[in-house]
Amino acid sequence: MTSITLNTTREDHRIAWFTALAVVIHVAEGALPSPLPGVKPGLANVVTIAVLLLYGWRLAAWVALLRVIIGSIVVGTFLSPTFMLSFAGAGAAALALAAASQLPGRGFGPIGFSLLASLSHMAAQFWVAYVLFIPHPGLLALLPVLLSVATLTGLINGMITIWMLKAVYANRS
């Protein structure tokens, strides 16, 4: 019998560790009651924003997309409408974060990135819901409420990210 040897890098280990953390938060958050139907705080996105600021957009995109895939497998929603909405949101947020992280100058901070990710996530989910599941003009009436909630959760998650990064930097020294 032959054995297979995997050569992993430090980056692979970071992706795995942060993805595992994000999946645990994602699954735990799914067990909490939702304040509004289909609305969740998106606390796992704190991990994505922290990874973006610590290691760059490529690792952050891996963490975000793997979190959705693995999390959906764990809770049994893989390839369901819930998965499609979540994957579209995570993909849109990852693309927006990648673009924003390439801007010249100081760019965005944790709150700015979190707001951008949250609003991109919600907009993509809304678009997928409208195009694939509920193509009714009445759905548009929910958009202002959903974007308001996304703004609030983006602000809160950005503040949590600041707190988390302060703890990370304090432990590095």
- DSSP code per residue over 123-165: HHHHHHIIIII---GGGGGGHHHHHHHHHHHHHHHHHHHHHHH
Highest-confidence segment of 4-18, 30-44, 65-79 = 65-79
- pLDDT at res. 173: 65
Q: Over 80: is that where the pLDDT of 164 sits?
A: yes
In this structure, which amino acid lies at residue 118?
A: S
Question: What does the mean pLDDT of the chain come to?
Answer: 91
114 burial type by CB count under 10 A (0-12 exposed, 13-18 middle, 19+ buried)? buried
Topology classification of domain 10-172: Arp2/3 complex 21 kDa subunit ARPC3 (1.10.1760)
- pLDDT at res. 35: 75
Q: Over 80: is that where the pLDDT of 38 sits?
A: no
pTM summary value: 0.89
Render pLDDT for 66-121 as a digit per residue (tens, 0 to 9).
999 999 999 999 999 999 999 999 999 999 999 999 888 777 899 999 999 999 99
Question: Where do the structural domains in the chain lie, given as residue ranges?
Answer: 10-172
